[in-house]
Amino acid sequence: SAPANFTLTMTNQPKLAAVLKWQTTTNATNYVFYKTNFATTNWTLLTNFNTPASATSPPVTVMISDPVAGPMRTYRVRVDTKH
């Protein structure tokens, strides 16, 4: 895994959501996990995707939005680079 420079902001446009943003590299697999209870050890996969090859030089900034519903979430991002 590589450093992700992760940020989280909240927005209410168009509806309340957590906006997660981090730096990745091209041809990497990105995973976003969450959990709703600090006491648990298990994380739930929110999404995963591959960063496509790009004309821009790494790092590449990616962003996802997670609509706020239910209990508060703690997030974790993992970036697996391909060697």
pLDDT in tens, 12-61: 877 889 999 999 888 889 999 999 998 999 999 999 999 887 756 778 88
Q: Locate tokens 């995973």: which residue?
A: 31
| 21 Cβ neighbours under 8 A, 6+ residues apart | 6, 7, 8, 9, 61, 62, 63
Residue 76 confidence (pLDDT) above 90: yes
- What pTM does this model have? 0.81
Inform me whether the pLDDT recorded for 67 exceeds 70: yes
Burial of 26 (0-12, 13-18, 19+ CB in 10 A): middle
